Amino acid sequence: MKHIASILLAALLLMPAARAQTFMSGDEVAKALVGNTAQGSMTTPGGTTTEYTVYLTPDGKMKMRQVTKSLSQNVTTAGTWQVHSGQFCFHTTRDIMWNCYKFQRLAEDRIAMSDGISPARIELVVRNGNVAKL
């Protein structure tokens, strides 16, 4: 019995620890996105996919294109962005209020954004400069 307990203890000690989700600060997100183009997509639980392209300028302005093919929507909006209370936030001409999101770094050129409430998240690929010409 003592031998089994030792084996179980050794197995537990060798198991990788569960990694807590770590989020980027608003300043880290701004550093990754400002002056660059981020592109990604999100699929709702209902199956509707929207593709996003976003370009942020250093002076707090942004342009975003949203394309939802199944709904025949292709909309480009302007807006502003800011870091507020450690979160990255933006407001477009179509929004009533500011939208603040949490971001996680997935790789050097990939980040994921989530509102922290819905299960949907957007994975963004970041490319240098305004490659989408928004």
Tell me how far apart the alpha carbons of residues 94 and 88 are, in angstroms, rounded to a whole number: 18
Where b means 16+ CB within 10 Å and e means fewer, 87-117 reads bbbbbbeeeeeebbbbbbeeeeeebbbbeee
Q: Which CATH class is domain 22-128?
A: mainly beta
Would you list the domain boundaries of the chain? 22-128
Inter-residue contact 126 to 110 (CB < 8 Å): yes
pLDDT score for 79: 93
Report residue 23 as tokens: 């989020």
| pTM of the full structure | 0.71
Please report, for residues 62, 85, 107, 108, the alpha-carbon distance to residue 89 in angstroms, rounded to integers and kept in the order given: 11, 9, 22, 21
pLDDT score for 106: 87
Question: Mean pLDDT, 10 residues at a time, over the chain (134 residues)?
Answer: 35 38 85 88 83 91 90 89 88 88 86 72 76 60
pLDDT score for 58: 92
Inter-residue contact 45 to 120 (CB < 8 Å): yes
